[in-house]
Amino acid sequence: MSSLQLINLRANSLSGNLQVDMIMNSNIPSALETTDSQEAFPKEICALTKLKELYLGKNNLTGQIPDDIARLVSLEKLGLEGNRLNGHIPQQIGNCTYLMEIHMQNNNLTGAIPNEIGNLHALQELDLAFNNITGSIPSTFFNFSLLRKVNMAYNHLSRHLPSNTGFRLPNLEDLYLERNELSGPIPDSISNASKLIVLDLSSNSFSGTIPDSLGNLRNLQKLNLAENLLTSRSLHSELSFLSSLSKVQEFSLFKVQWKSHWVVGFRFPLGIYLNLLKNCMLLIAELQEIFLEESANLSNMIGLILQQNELTGAIPSEIGRLKHLQDFSLASNKLRGHIPDEICHLERLSYLYLLENGFSGSLPACLSNITSLRELYLGSNRFTSIPSSFWSLKDLLQINLSFNSLTGTLPLEIGNLKVVTIIDFSSNQLSGDIPTSITGLQNLAHFSLSDNRMQGPIPSSFGDLVSLEFLDLSSNNLSGAIPKSLEKLVHLKTFNVSFNRLQGEIPDRGSFANFSSRSFMDNEALCGPIRMQVPPCKSINIHRKSKRPHEFGIRYIVPAIASIILVIVFTVIIFRRSHKRKQGTQEDSSPTATWRKISRHELYRATEGFNETNLLGTGSCGSVYRGTLSDGLCIAVKVFHLELEGELMRFDSECEVLRMLRHRNLVKIISSC
């Protein structure tokens, strides 16, 4: 293996010594198996002078890149990315003149970029991003005629870009220098890199004006000058060079001093993006001017983002000309009035953000025409109603209409939003019951109706909302119990039903074991565990207490009554024997011997089916009904509870005694059946 040309040990999390003699006399896996101690860059590899490609990326390599790397004179591709290498890039790397690709990103490299790197005339790709490299970019660096991709982002590079930047970079396509400490003007010469596709100089300290020569970069697709100290003469002079950038897909400017106003986040590629973010003092008149004068150039724009400004007035009707618009945001401004119907001409619109303004009235009924709409954020405005056609937007994923003045009820048609994941109607004036059709929204993860006037119960079918993570129904007039079915919602993380009129037991299984008393405070009559700061539920205690009187009655009262009856029976028997007739006629002691036989059917007819209108009274043993037999005899029928064991036998005995007694206040005993 003395002629080895490629070693690829990428993404193995290697540690220990990599011994060349093992590579020479065995195979790569056996060499890995014998490593037993952590080492820096394996210096032994530097003895492989014919090696062309070396990939050691995404391992646990530590320490410094050895100076002996200069011995790899045939090396063309070097991959050391994603390790923990530290120290500086060795000057000796300039001896590897065949190098075409260097990947050292995501390490802990420090120091400056060596001037000797300018000797690598075959270099095509250089990635040093996400390190701690300091100093300036050497002027020799920009002499690589074959260089295509450069990424030095997220370092601590400082000072000015060389004035010859771009002169000898005819093949450069991507230049990433964001998140450094570079300063000074953007050199005009950069426009000579005519094949540039991506130019990202954001988050530095570049100053001065944006050079008009950038308009020569006809292949540019992304230009990011955000987070710098750039200044501009005027709005239209700044836009002039953009008219040449027909291929630009994203243009960003942040913190541009513009007419004494700070424009933070100006993204305006003619034909694609316009983005004015944060504290822009641009008035609506100028905004309308852009729409009116530039509408022909903006007709292909897919994103219009003007959020967090001081914009006032109304949305101009010219917005309807942007037929290709997909992303539209005017959030966090001071706009007022109605949403114009012309917005419904944006048939490709997917994202509409108008929250935190002063818009009022009803939502446009024609919104249902924008079938491509996926996210609708209109919260913190003054909207009063939702048109019925709105609920036909069956592909909506997210809806936020919170903090408005919406009135009326939620219709059953809300169930048409089959794929919706977020619904927020909190802080409105909605009333009525919660529609049960919401149960069909199986993707719903976030649902809030807090601070409204909703009434009725919480639908028990909410337990079928298997994706639900957030449920806030607080500050309403909801009544009834909290459904136990909600315990099935295994993904539920937030639950709030405080400030309602709910009653009954708080569920304590499933996700409810994790909720605090804040979720249930200020309701009418909730009960549950002590930790919920509500009274304990009485259902079990009531059951136990209800058994005690019954047990007391069986144990003490019933025997006492039985004893009294026995005494009475004994007395009657003695009395009867002492007054027997001389003819020795003895009356049968069986209660059924002389009693009239009356069928249950006859009693049923006599009491009109034991009708409540004939009920005379109810006691612990049964109920008494008034009735009239077929022969006109008025009777009182006592119906016993069958579950009272032994009660009928005792009553038969009692009837036998009472049948023998005569008193004006005693009802005559006719029969027992």
List, for residues 472-531, the tens digit of each pLDDT value. Answer: 999 999 999 999 999 999 999 999 999 999 999 999 899 999 999 999 999 989 999 888
Question: Averaged over 242-264, what is the pLDDT?
Answer: 48
**Cα–Cα distance for residue pair 496/155, rounded to 1 Å:** 46
Which pLDDT belongs to residue 314? Answer: 87
**415-546 against 601-673: fold identical:** no
Highest mean predicted confidence (pLDDT) among 144-158, 245-259, 278-292: 144-158
The burial class, CB within 10 Å (0-12 / 13-18 / 19+), for 537 is: middle
**Cα–Cα distance for residue pair 596/272, rounded to 1 Å:** 104
User: Domain map of the chain by residue range?
Assistant: 415-546, 601-673
Question: Averaged over 525-540, what is the pLDDT?
Answer: 85
Residue with token string 């530039």 = 294
**Cα–Cα distance for residue pair 156/135, rounded to 1 Å:** 7
Structure tokens at 660: 């023998």
Nearest residue to 228 via CA among 249, 250, 251, 210 = 210
Which pLDDT belongs to residue 254? Answer: 44
Question: Averaged over 285-311, what is the pLDDT?
Answer: 57
Residues whose CB falls within 8 Å of the CB of residue 671, separated by 6 or more in sequence, listed in order: 595, 596, 597, 598
Question: Averaged over 644-660, what is the pLDDT?
Answer: 62
pLDDT tens digit string along 177-198? 999 999 999 999 998 999 999 9
Give the CATH class of 601-673.
alpha beta
Contact yes or no for 285/309 (Cβ under 8 A): no
**Cα–Cα distance for residue pair 291/366, rounded to 1 Å:** 22
Pairing type for strands 256-258 and 261-263 reads antiparallel
Higher pLDDT pick, 577 / 259 = 577
Higher pLDDT pick, 438 / 320 = 438
Three-class DSSP category at 297: coil
Q: Which amino acid is at 30?
A: S
Confidence band for 597, pLDDT divided at 50, 70 and 90: low
Residue with token string 């919170």 = 402
Residue 14 has pLDDT above 60, yes or no: no
pLDDT tens digit string along 103-152? 999 999 999 999 999 899 999 999 999 999 999 998 888 788 899 999 99
Highest mean predicted confidence (pLDDT) among 270-284, 439-453, 539-553: 439-453
pLDDT tens digit string along 357-407? 999 999 999 999 999 999 999 999 999 999 999 999 999 999 999 999 999
* CATH tag for 415-546 (out of 3.30.1490.20, 3.40.50.300, 3.80.10.10, 3.30.70.20): 3.80.10.10
**Cα–Cα distance for residue pair 108/176, rounded to 1 Å:** 19
Cross-strand bridge partners of residue 242: none
Which pLDDT belongs to residue 600? Answer: 66
The sign one gets for the Cα dihedral 127, 133, 135, 140 is: negative
Confidence band for 648, pLDDT divided at 50, 70 and 90: low
Question: Averaged over 315-335, what is the pLDDT?
Answer: 85
Nearest residue to 306 via CA among 252, 272, 343, 267 = 267
Structure tokens at 51: 């090696």
Confidence band for 610, pLDDT divided at 50, 70 and 90: confident
Higher pLDDT pick, 119 / 317 = 119
**Cα–Cα distance for residue pair 385/361, rounded to 1 Å:** 7
Three-class DSSP category at 187: coil
